[in-house]
Structure 1
Amino acid sequence: MGSVETPSLHRAEAPLPVLSKLGNPNVPEGLDVVKTASTWLESFAKYAELGDADGVLSLLVNSSFTSGIFKPEVADIPEPTSSDVAVYWRDVLALTWDFRTFESTPKIKQFLADRLAEAKITGVQLQKDAPPQLQRPYPDLAWIQVVFTFETKVGLCSGIARLIPFPGPNKDTLDWKACAVFTGLDDLKGFPEKVGSLRNREPNHGKWEEARRKEMSFEGGDPTVLIIGGGQSGLEVAARLKALDISTLVVEKNKRIGDNWRTRYEALCLHDPVWYDHMPYIPFPPTWPVYTPAKKLANWLEYYAEAMELNVWTSSTVLSATQDAETRIWFVKVKQSDGTERVFKVKHVVIAIGFKGGRGYIPTYPGMDTFKGQILHSTQHDRALDHAGKKVVVVGSCTSAHDISVDYADHGVDVTMFQRSSTYVMSTKNGIPLLLGSLYSEHGPSTELADKINASFPNLFMAGMAHRVTKLIAEADKETLDGLHKRGFRTNDGYKDCGLILMVWAKAGGYYMDVGGSQYIIDGKIKLKNDSQIQSFTPDGLKFEDGSTLLADVVVFCTGLADPRHAIRSIFGDEVAERSKPVWGINEEGEINGSWRDLGYKGMWYMMGNLAMCRFYSKHLALQIKAMEEGIFDGNRYTAAE
């Protein structure tokens, strides 16, 4: 392979180890990838097992580069130079008890000095079902992916390193250094999940039903963990905790498990493919459609709770939760379906009430009280036919706005979409294969391995890759995007020009994964207004800042969800809500705020995410709780400075 010239880089691409930055090394086609990876890993194992931080550092790229991409005080990404090559180490509970990404040699050096020897690493070896691979995601990028396993004093762990080539001291030799290392906790030593060969092997003749009734009722005492919310996030954490033999109760306000999906608007369908959405322990069957209708998912969640024997109280509400200042025990008052109240004393409360608490956000405008029509949030909307013969304005231009507008158009309802700001648009047809296809597809790796590989890319590093794939998707979607622009629909390239993935992490919204709605706008089946902002409501509709008006009988706000701390406030009170950590959004290290770990109070946790996020991170939340319950957690999270 000869040298590859790289055109000028976008600022998001600054961390990428493009070959021109590395001295245009010649990577031979016949490279012995396994030997190269094994040689590097043998050295890594030697230094890691000795606790030799400097030795481990010698195997990594030496770089002081920091991108600053996620620093709130920095509006723009620094201009890349011809020599910037970043180095990263992401750790998920393996060497720390937190979710951390360390960028630059000085930060990694400090991290290793503080944590490497303490971890007592042993047993480093290649993962047998994931042989090293030479990967060429783009012509100017090349790395060897090395998947390995190891042990610490408390856990069974896995790691992934990406080795990049530098010209060696002699002609035709290469010096391979890691530009990114991932270490993650898989299991706690001595406390394996009760699955597979560790499942219950005793026959049960006539006693199962009564035993389940007693377990569900908690007649004999309190659970260790109480989960607020029985959607996918609550159920997946409950399943993980059950596998770790931790007594858990899920409290769900709805009448049935799955009602959080079952009662949403009729047209709702998942836009993530089935391979990405499997749940822990029970994957979707091979006959399952690629895109799951919401009501079908609702029924699956109900089945999942029953099949996993999860303890769920439906039609029940958590009224309050307070913590004893000395014991740190939580007193949680629950109102049951029959109206009786019970106070549980639990060590852990997991808040699993959906993205941002699941509460719809409706902005306030003058004149709303004078409007003669109906004002709804998308979470309150049901069917398009409920508004047959009426004029509808849908405020918003992202996923729910498109779904609902298409449903109205399909049923002959006069619908206008009001676009407040630009939207990132990506077709699922072209975007999903480019974003997920190598990991989550019919012929991809196992879900467990795919999740680890996916998690091994720090978001700081992912930004450059995301920018590149965003351009490829836009090229594939050019006809659709051009059609939208001709209609006046405003689009953007996503957060920091990096498309969908960082939009999800940073904002949990602001995008539309096009499954056909864009064509409705192009064809005029969905009317569009976006030339002025809403000034006020009138008795008959909306008035805009430029003086124009829009008649409406119904206004549906597809304007996202409120801050999850509003929901926390209603249960835990003002003080806890104000002092709890922010939930969602990206911190300076590129890690997600608040989710999957404590919220600043002992035993108070927040679980949220799509099905894939919940599948992966539910295990890490459960492992943290198990480590605390078994006295394994030493109290030192090694958390990033607030």
Structure 2
Amino acid sequence: MSQHPFDVLIIGAGVSGIGMACHLRRACPGRSFAILERRQAIGGTWDLFRYPGIRSDSDMFTFGYNFRPWTGGKVLADGAAIKQYVTDTAREHGVTRHIRFQRAVQRAEWSSADKCWTLTVRDEASGNTETYTARFLIGCTGYYNYDRGYKPDFPGEADFRGQVVHPQHWPEDLDYSGKRVVVIGSGATAVTLVPTLAEKAAHVTMLQRSPTYLMPLPSIDKVTLALQKVLPEKVAYRLTRARNISIARLLYERSRRSPKAMRRLLLAIIRRQLGGQVDMRHFSPDYNPWDQRLCVVKDGDLFQVLKSGRASIVTDRIERFTETGIRLASGTELEADLIVPATGLDLQMLGGVAVSVDGEPVVMKDKIIYKNVLVEGVPNAGMIFGYTNISWTLKVDIAAEYLCRLMNLMDRRGHQVVVARDTENSRGEETILGSLDAGYIKRAADRLPRQGTHGPWKSNQNYLEDVKVLRFEPIEDGYLEFDGVRTRVGQGRAAGVLAPLRSALFGT
């Protein structure tokens, strides 16, 4: 059993883990660190998912890191391009050599006596067990189970004579040319799959239990291309980010404050896209905008294939699978050679790692999150958890910056241990994913940490507010305990009201 001591250990080499490591290299250059990645490549989600047409559901100018511009005019990038972007970022910032691939973290144990974390890690290639120790632990694993996606137990599934393929486990050699395909679902995966499969399949049916709000988005940003011709690359990038952050925030806030007006607007946009050729009942959800995520339709491609007849959409419930397809509650039968259950994710925190503090297991559903970065009562541990209403990476950047600020302050003051303490009984019942009403969140309610009812324990999903809190407010705010001593509120808050806004929009 080999020993590997580090200052910082990062779990996961996806978008979050690479972003965190790059910020460490920039802000804490003398600190030793390693990234433990279970897979054989960089990319996380963008290495795992291989289904046809996989792409970003957020614009790339806000999805890109604030320290490395996403260039070109492409708004929605495919999975391979995103993986390459993350891989290139790791290489350019000297992070790749710090990654230990095929390392599955099984346990993470904090010892107050030793003031460090001990991780039990399995080398997936050799089967050997390794031990890593670190002063600080940062989880960058996202929030879903990489081993399996969510799929209901469909009655009669064993009777079906065709193939059933979940998007999370798409075979690279799967040939669907000339086949009748049914895609079950109405979320981002289904919206992406249907028009792509329709290019080769005989026919594709999108089968949904209920509609989702959709928003067409052009794949090329002509305004950005024009800016890039006359402005320096970084300036054009910052201006585009500022515009897109503002638009995304406006859409979200208007949806929460004026849901009826936003519903009318979104449905009017879809009605215009469909041109009266497809029944609008398939696009009229029974919930308010942003009660669930808004799905982006690249260049309106889904609407185009529906109008062309190469694909169709059905809103109904599944009674059972049959030998030749699916029988619906209405009595209709959908014939299929291939069924794709795009039915969602199976949520899992910290990649399923068993975490304990001084021998006591950490039960995440009993914990609240401080500033959406630190877990209450868990020493020297951070968690990078992105946004659900705008680009994930916006939160990665500012959360990583905060953790670097925190570790640098501890070094300057000679502190060895920091822990967030809730002395006000702030725990609420809402999970850290907030008010989203999606099925995958409801199913995982017993696995997700909670947010508090107020103060730094409350997760507001507001980027501009988080920039102010994480980038500018003092670390010593009265909620953190250093080496067993609760500090008083720090002095010297950032001067001025415009600094946080300027930094949020234009970067550091």
Q: TM-score range by the shorter chain?
A: 0.5 to 0.7
> 1:479 — aligned with what?
272
Deviations 1:590-625 (A, max 9, x none): xxx984332652234332332333233332344344
> 1:597 — aligned with what?
374
2:400 to 608, 615, 618: 618
- Cα displacement (A) at 1:634: 8.4
- Alpha-carbon spacing, 1:582–1:491, altered in 2? closer, same or farther (3 Å): farther
Tell me how far apart the structure 2 counterparts of residues 456 and 426 of structure 1 sit (CA, whole Å).
15
> 1:153 — aligned with what?
none
> 2:187 — aligned with what?
398
Gaps of 5+ in 2: 224-233, 387-391, 428-508
Deviations 1:199-246 (A, max 9, x none): xxxxxxxxxxxxxxxxxxxx9952222222111111111111222323
1:312 paired to 2:99: yes
Contact (CA 8 Å) 2:59, 2:75: kept in 1 or not?
Answer: yes
> 2:131 — aligned with what?
343
Deviations 1:25-58 (A, max 9, x none): xxxxxxxxxxxxxxxxxxxxxxxxxxxxxxxxxx
- Alpha-carbon spacing, 1:388–1:629, altered in 2? closer, same or farther (3 Å): farther
Deviations 1:500-546 (A, max 9, x none): xx45xxx5x4634343112212332212221x311233343323333
> 1:233 — aligned with what?
16
AA at the equivalent of 1:314:
F
2:256 to 454, 463, 471: 463
> 2:336 — aligned with what?
552
1:267 paired to 2:53: yes
- Cα displacement (A) at 1:382: 5.0
- Cα displacement (A) at 1:400: 1.1
Deviations 1:363-422 (A, max 9, x none): 222333443333222111256962234332111012211221112110134321111112
Amino-acid identity (%): 21
- Alpha-carbon spacing, 1:475–1:444, altered in 2? closer, same or farther (3 Å): farther
> 1:204 — aligned with what?
none
How many residues are paired up? Answer: 399
Q: Secondary structure at the match of 1:356?
A: coil
1:334 paired to 2:121: yes
Contact (CA 8 Å) 1:274, 1:288: kept in 2 or not?
Answer: no
Q: Secondary structure at the match of 1:363?
A: coil
Tell me how far apart the structure 1 counterparts of residues 86 and 12 of structure 2 sit (CA, whole Å).
13
1:517 to 266, 285, 302: 302
Tell me how far apart the structure 1 counterparts of residues 99 and 86 of structure 2 sit (CA, whole Å).
12
- Alpha-carbon spacing, 1:478–1:444, altered in 2? closer, same or farther (3 Å): farther
- Alpha-carbon spacing, 1:457–1:481, altered in 2? closer, same or farther (3 Å): closer
Which shifted more, 219-228 or 263-272? Answer: 219-228
Matches within 5 A, 1:248-327: 248-258=33-43, 260-263=45-48, 264-285=50-71, 287=72, 289-310=74-95, 311-324=98-111, 327=114
Q: Secondary structure at the match of 1:254?
A: coil
Deviations 1:471-496 (A, max 9, x none): 55554444125647526423338x64
- Alpha-carbon spacing, 1:304–1:396, altered in 2? closer, same or farther (3 Å): same
Tell me how far apart the structure 2 counterparts of residues 578 and 220 of structure 1 sit (CA, whole Å).
28
Q: Give the number of the structure with larger relative contact order, counting CA–CA contacts within 8 Å between residues 6 or more apart.
A: 2
AA at the equivalent of 1:364:
D
Tell me how far apart the structure 2 counterparts of residues 625 and 535 of structure 1 sit (CA, whole Å).
55
2:319 to 535, 545, 550: 535
AA at the equivalent of 2:194:
S
CA RMSD of aligned residues (A): 4.2
- Alpha-carbon spacing, 1:330–1:577, altered in 2? closer, same or farther (3 Å): same
Tell me how far apart the structure 2 counterparts of residues 491 and 328 of structure 1 sit (CA, whole Å).
55
AA at the equivalent of 1:527:
S
- Alpha-carbon spacing, 1:517–1:594, altered in 2? closer, same or farther (3 Å): farther
Q: Secondary structure at the match of 2:144?
A: helix
Q: Secondary structure at the match of 1:319?
A: strand
Tell me how far apart the structure 1 counterparts of residues 218 and 245 of structure 2 sit (CA, whole Å).
25
Q: Secondary structure at the match of 2:6?
A: coil
Deviations 1:95-117 (A, max 9, x none): xxxxxxxxxxxxxxxxxxxxxxx
Q: Which has the larger radius of gyration?
A: 1
- Cα displacement (A) at 1:360: 1.6
Tell me how far apart the structure 1 counterparts of residues 94 and 207 of structure 2 sit (CA, whole Å).
45
Q: Secondary structure at the match of 2:165?
A: strand
Matches within 5 A, 1:80-229: 222-229=5-12
Gaps of 5+ in 1: 1-218, 435-440, 584-592
> 1:387 — aligned with what?
176
- Alpha-carbon spacing, 1:225–1:449, altered in 2? closer, same or farther (3 Å): farther
Contact (CA 8 Å) 1:384, 1:407: kept in 2 or not?
Answer: no
AA at the equivalent of 1:543:
R
1:354 paired to 2:142: yes
> 2:210 — aligned with what?
421
- Cα displacement (A) at 1:316: 2.4
AA at the equivalent of 1:601:
V
Contact (CA 8 Å) 1:278, 1:615: kept in 2 or not?
Answer: no
Contact (CA 8 Å) 1:275, 1:442: kept in 2 or not?
Answer: no
Tell me how far apart the structure 2 counterparts of residues 455 and 328 of structure 1 sit (CA, whole Å).
42
- Alpha-carbon spacing, 1:484–1:641, altered in 2? closer, same or farther (3 Å): farther
Contact (CA 8 Å) 1:331, 1:345: kept in 2 or not?
Answer: yes
- Alpha-carbon spacing, 1:370–1:534, altered in 2? closer, same or farther (3 Å): same
AA at the equivalent of 1:371:
F
Q: Secondary structure at the match of 1:387?
A: coil
Contact (CA 8 Å) 2:157, 2:322: kept in 1 or not?
Answer: yes
AA at the equivalent of 1:272:
S
- Alpha-carbon spacing, 1:594–1:454, altered in 2? closer, same or farther (3 Å): farther
User: What is the TM-score with the length of structure 2 in the denominator?
Assistant: 0.66
- Alpha-carbon spacing, 1:454–1:404, altered in 2? closer, same or farther (3 Å): closer
